[in-house]
Amino acid sequence: MPAKILDGKAIADNILKKLKKKLKYCRENSERFPKLVVIQVGEDPASTIYVNKKHKACKEIGIDSEIKKFPETISYPDFLKEIGNLNKDNSVNGILVQLPLPEHLNHKQVFETIAVEKDVDGFHPFNHGKNLLGKKGIQSATPKGIMTLLESTGVNFEGKNAVVVGRSNIVGKPITLMLINEGCTVTVCNSKTKNLKSFTKEADILVVAAGKCNLITEDMVKKGAIVIDVGMNRNGNGQLCGDVDFENVKKVASWITPVPKGVGPMTIASLMENTIEACKQQGNCTCSV
Ligand code: NAP
């Protein structure tokens, strides 16, 4: 039997619908509601698409949203100063810096500059630390969305072998910690891993965030595995492709995410949840969102 499709778009739409309802009540009964500022540096077309999607989602559900664009030539001190101003601005609850940033802006340092309580992407070392300890807090948006997708399958995490392909700070490492915290036995692979297939083949839950078109083929997947494809890549023809050979892997998996309409919409839904949570934590939302 072919895999069931883990429809991230449908699950995300459902989350957004619920948030919209709550925010409507908030707007009618409170003077303060959440505001997100998304920062874009330069004119990278993919970044523009992602920034606009986030802005649109905010507008649709009732979060105030602003896009701040800076030229690629902005100096590092000026950029940090802009973030500092947003940190101090009480009308702003969430700050998101769209990646990639030009090299001279040192994205790791930038993440540490964003106020912890406004870090709605969950990339500040403090928020990563909370995730490490399994404490409640703002969780990285993409891994949080992946966990929601996995939960929707009804899987019992305890005792499952999970394999994560990729060890980035924004996807691979945080999802690894979340899976560990849920009781999975987790193996993390990277570009130096020898015989990747020997690991992926053992996975009951396989999360792939390598950024390589069709890296995972049917023969690398255990029968009945849940497969989450985080990849958003362009192939040689400029077409969007994931890290998993969807058409063939779906023949062996029990659940699989498509690309697009899998993890991508869940990242946005989690970002909206995080912005509302940030607003609540800052004591700015007086309604019961
Ligand atoms: P990244 O920072 O480039 O990290 C990629 C990771 O994959 C690295 O740890 C790398 O290993 C590993 N890797 C690369 N080739 C490999 C191979 N052949 N075998 C095993 N591991 C390999 O990428 P990222 O930011 O985590 O993103 C990964 C993918 O997810 C990209 O396609 C990105 O566009 C997508 N993404 C999607 C969303 C969404 O919302 N849908 C959000 C974030 C990212 P090394 O560490 O050894 O180099």
Residue 65, domain CATH: 3.40.50.10860
Question: The domain containing residue 46 runs over which residues?
Answer: 31-125
Contact between 140 and 131 (Cβ < 8 Å): yes
Would you say residue 228 has pLDDT above 60?
Answer: yes
pLDDT of residue 287: 62
Mean pLDDT, range 231-240, rounded to an integer: 93
**Is residue 162 located within the same domain as residue 109?**
no
Compute the mean pLDDT over every residue in the chain, rounded to the nearest whole number: 95
Q: What is the tally of structural domains in the chain? A: 2
Asked if 121 is an active-site residue, the reply is: yes
Catalytic-residue membership of 229: no
Note whether residue 274 is domain-resident.
Answer: no
Q: Do 176 and 86 belong to one domain?
A: no
Q: Which residues are annotated as a binding site for NADP(+)?
A: 166-168
Cα 175 to ligand 1 centroid, rounded to whole Å: 12
By CB atoms closer than 10 A (0-12, 13-18, 19+), residue 192 is exposed
pLDDT in tens, 156-212: 999 999 999 999 999 999 999 999 999 999 999 999 999 999 999 999 999 999 999
187 lines ligand 1 (CB under 6 A): no
In the set 35, 40, 118, 121, the catalytic residue is: 121
Q: Are residues 179 and 148 in the same domain?
A: yes
Residue 167 in contact with ligand 1 by CB distance below 6 A: yes
Whether ligand 1 lies within 6 angstroms of the CB of 172 is answered as: yes
Closest of 158, 156, 211, 200 to residue 183, by C-alpha: 158
Say yes or no to pLDDT of 237 above 60.
yes
Active site residue 282: no
Is 120 in the same domain as 147? no
Query: 33 near 287, Cβ under 8 Å?
Result: yes
**Quick check: CB of 145 below 6 Å from ligand 1?**
no
Whether 174 is covered by a domain: the verdict is yes
Claim: this prediction has a pTM higher than 0.85:
yes
Which of 30-34, 93-97, 105-109, 193-197 bottoms out in mean pLDDT, i.e. has the lowest?
Answer: 30-34
The mean pLDDT of 105-133, rounded to a whole number, is: 96
Tokens standing for residue 283 = 């004591």
